[in-house]
Amino acid sequence: MTISKGDRVPSTTFTKMTADGPEPVASDTFFSGKTVAIFSVPGAFTPTCSAKHLPGFIDKAEALKAKGVDEIACTAVNDAFVMGAWGKSAGAEGKVTMLADGNGDFAKAVGLTMDGSKFGLGTRGQRFSMIVKDGVISELNVEAPGDFKLSSAEHMLEQL
């Protein structure tokens, strides 16, 4: 079942890269007591994700924070090493937290997986974004296959 506005974010564990190596991040803790803008991409270093999606959130980080967002996060079904390298190469440090969903547990738990087998990607997370307030989804934007509009930083700014 796909998650909906008003639902609590499911309990899963992400992984983020730190100076000391990969570190587990419990979703319950990550989303607790703050407003988080989180977006999911099918894969790090993929064309739309690298050219538009992540750069949009990096560029609009200050504007999102000015509208009450405490933290911006990007997730993908990639490992923490890849997500860390992608964030570093894109200049995301200090603006967007890169959360690896290596086994796709978060994507599965929210019911937003896609089959990227045709492209050699296997099961991935769909392109979507959410505004999560103290663990509860207040906005959910799921893209149609191949689209990139609703999950953008610009669209999210209009929702705040």
Q: Is the separation of the CB atoms in 98 and 87 below 8 Å?
A: yes
Buried b (16+ CB within 10 A) or exposed e, 48-82: bbbeebbbbbbebbeebeebebebbbbbbbbbbeb
Q: Is residue 86 pLDDT above 80, yes or no? A: yes
Q: How many residues does this entry show for the chain?
A: 160
Give residue-wise pLDDT tens across range 10-64.
Answer: 999 999 999 999 999 999 999 999 999 999 998 888 777 677 889 999 999 999 9
Domain boundaries along the sequence of the chain: 13-159
Give residue-wise pLDDT tens across range 97-110.
Answer: 999 999 999 999 99
Q: Determine the pLDDT at residue 49.
A: 67
Model pTM? 0.93
CATH of region 13-159: 3.40.30.10
Catalytic entry in 25, 38, 49, 98: 49
Distances in Å between the Cα of 7 and the Cα atoms of 15, 17, 41, 46, 130 are: 23, 28, 21, 30, 11
**Is 74 in the active site?**
no
Q: Determine the pLDDT at residue 113.
A: 87
